[in-house]
Amino acid sequence: MDDLDKQILLVLQEQGRISMTDLGKTVSLSQPAVTERVRRLEEKGVIDHYRAVVASEKINKPIAAFVLFYTKGCDRFVEYCEQTRDVVELHRISGHQYNFLVKLVTESLQTLESTINQLGAFGDSTTLIVLSSPLKQKPLAP
């Protein structure tokens, strides 16, 4: 991966819907050349997929929380989280006390409490409620 590929990745992370023509102009390449580079990055799996970033508060889900979770039934817990609509991220972690980090996004404190209660059937947890997110998701710098 050279510097041009890195520039392309940074631009695409900020402007996923940019046209290949405009992307080429931004990184000083022709449209066919930049299209070929993007295609190669996709084929190599560097670009995994494209998606829309939805503002959770605009779809009536203003409450976010991280749950540090410990379970002995890891596979069952993962399956349950995959089926639970308010679970938006699940990370297997290492550490002293917990083995998962769960991100929940939901409508209210009541729905958060309900989801945490349901997760409790799988193990023990500590919940951290998000007050604000001054830095949402920075682009990954290659």
DSSP 3-state assignment of 42? Answer: helix
The pLDDT tens digits for 37-81 are: 999 999 999 999 999 999 999 999 999 999 999 999 999 999 999
pLDDT at 64: 98
40/75 Cα distance (integer angstroms): 35
Location of structure tokens 């799996």: 45
Tell me what pLDDT residue 32 has.
97
Q: Give residue for tokens 């449209």.
A: 31
Query: For the chain, where do the domains classified as CATH 3.30.70.920 start and end?
Result: 56-129
Residue that is written with structure tokens 């979770």 in the block: 69
* pLDDT digits 0-9 by tens, 95-119: 889 999 999 999 999 999 999 999 9
Considering the chain, tell me which residue range(s) the CATH 1.10.10.10 domain(s) occupy: 3-43
Question: Nearest to residue 104, comparing CAs of 134, 66, 50?
Answer: 66
Strand segments, DSSP code E, in 4-113 are 63-71, 87-92, 100-106
CATH topology of domain 3-43: Arc Repressor Mutant, subunit A (1.10.10)
What is the four-CA torsion angle of 100, 95, 141, 59, rounded to 10 degrees? 30
- Residue 78: the pLDDT is 98
Round to whole Å and give the CA distance between 59 and 54. Answer: 8
Q: Which residue has the tokens 């830095």?
A: 135
Indicate the fold that domain 56-129 takes in CATH: Alpha-Beta Plaits (3.30.70)
